[in-house]
Structure 1
Amino acid sequence: MVFSGLIFGFLFGFLLKRSHYCIAGSLRDVYLQRDISGLLAVFMIIFPQSLILFTLIQTGTIARPEYPDYSLFAMIIGSLLFGAGTVFASGCMSGTLVKVGDGRFTGLVSLLSFALFVVSSNNGLIANWTSPLQNISIKSDSFIDHLSFSPLNIIIPLLLIVLVWGGYYLRKKELRIPLPTQFTGFRYWLFEKQMSKLVAALLIGIVAGFAFLFNYWSHSFGGFAITGPVTSWLSLIIGGGVQLNWGMYFIVGIILGSLICAIGKGEFKLQGSDGKSLLKAFIGGALMGLGASLAKGCLVSNGLVYTAMLSVQGWIGLIFIIIGNWVTAFLMFKLPLLKPMH
Structure 2
Amino acid sequence: MSTASNITASAPTAPGRLSRALVLLLVAASVLAAALVAGPRYGLLLLIGLGFGLALEGFRFGFTGPWRRMILQRDPSGLIAQLVCIGIVAIAAFPLLAANPAELKGAHAPVGVAMIGGAFLFGAAMQVVLGCGSGTLVNAGSGNAVGAVALPFFAIGSFAGAYHLSWWTSIGSLPMMTLSGANGLMVTLAGLAAFSGLAYLLRAKGAFKMPPRYVGAIVVLAGLAILHLVVAGQPWGVVYGLGLWVAKGVVAVGGDLSGSTFWAAPGNAARVEASLLTDITSLTDLGLIGGAALVAWWRAGLASPVGKLPARAWLSVIVAGLVLGYSSRLAFGCNIGAFFSGIGTGSVHGWVWFIAAFTGSWAGIRLRPLLGLEARR
Q: 1:246 to 1:106 in 2, by over 3 A?
A: same
- Counterpart in 1 of 2:34? none
Query: Does the residue aligned with 2:42 lie in a helix, a strand or coil?
Result: coil
Residue 323 of structure 1 aligns to which amino acid in structure 2? T
Please name the residue that 2:342 is paired with.
306
1:248 is matched with 282
- Cα distance change on mapping 1:121 and 1:152 into 2, 3 Å: closer
1:50 pairs with one of 87, 90, 100: 90
Match of 2:326 among 290, 296, 301: 290
- Measured on the aligned residues, the alpha-carbon RMSD in Å equals 3.3
> 1: distance between equivalents of 2:349 and 2:282?
24
Structure-1-length-normalised TM-score: 0.78
Instruction: Name the residue aligned to 1:213.
Output: 230
Please point out which of 203, 207, 214 is paired with 2:220.
203
Please show how residues 88-237 of structure 1 align to structure 2 within 5 Å: 88-123=128-163, 127=164, 131-144=166-179, 149-154=182-187, 195-216=212-233, 222-237=234-249
Counterparts of 1:255-334 in structure 2 under 5 Å?
A: 255-274=289-308, 275-332=311-368
Counting matched residue pairs gives: 306
Once the 2 structures are TM-superposed, how far is the Cα of residue 7 of structure 1 from its aligned partner? Answer: 1.4
CA spacing shift, 1:158–1:317, aligned 2, 3 Å: closer
Deviation at 1:69, TM superposition (A): 5.5
**Deviation for aligned residue 1:4:** 1.9
Residue 330 of structure 1 deviates from its aligned partner by: 3.3
Work out whether residues 121 and 290 of structure 1, in 8 Å CA contact, stay in contact via their aligned partners in 2. Answer: yes
Letter in 1 for 2:184: P
Q: Which residue of 2 aligns with 1:184?
A: none
In 1, distance between residues paired with 2:196 and 2:125?
A: 30
CA contact (8 A) 2:159 2:244 kept: no
Question: C-alpha distance in 2, partners of 1:101/1:290?
Answer: 21
The range that moved more, 197-206 or 291-300, is 197-206
CA distance in 1 between counterparts of 2:198 and 2:215 reads 11
Please tell me the residue identity of whatever aligns with 1:241: E
Relative to structure 1, the CA distance from residue 15 to residue 64 in structure 2 (aligned partners, 3 Å threshold; closer, same or farther) is closer
| Distance in 2 separating the partners of 1:312 and 1:155 | 9
Q: Deviations over 1:23-82 (max 9, x none)?
A: 112112110111111320220221111111123234449745367662510111000110
The correspondence for 2:114, drawn from 44, 61, 74, is 74
Alignment gaps of 5+ in structure 1:
177-193, 217-221
Per the alignment, do residues 113 and 65 of structure 1 end up closer, same or farther by CA in structure 2, a change over 3 Å counting? Answer: same
Shift of 1:307: 0.8
Distance (whole Å) between structure 1 residues aligned to residue 366 and residue 137 of structure 2 = 25
For 2:101 and 2:88, the matched residues in 1 are separated by 17
In 1, the alpha carbon distance for the partners of 2:301 and 2:62 equals 16
- Is the 2:50–2:289 Cα contact (8 Å) retained in structure 1? yes
Shift of residue 96, structure 1, vs aligned partner: 1.0
- Give percent identity, aligned residues only: 22
Pick closer, same or farther for the CA change 1:317–1:233 going to 2, 3 Å.
same
Structure 2 gaps of 5+ residues are: 1-40, 253-271
**Aligned-partner Cα distance in 2 for 1:198–1:323:** 26
2:335 match: secondary structure:
coil
- Name the amino acid aligned to 1:209: I
TM-score normalised over the length of structure 2? 0.71
Q: Distance in 1 between matches of 2:102 and 2:178?
A: 20
- For residues 205 and 310 of structure 1, what CA distance do their matches in structure 2 show? 16
Distance in 1, matches of 2:107 and 2:295, equals 36
CA distance in 2, matches of 1:115, 1:6: 19
Aligned partners of 2:149, 2:43: CA distance in 1, in Å? 27
247-256 vs 289-298, which moves further: 289-298
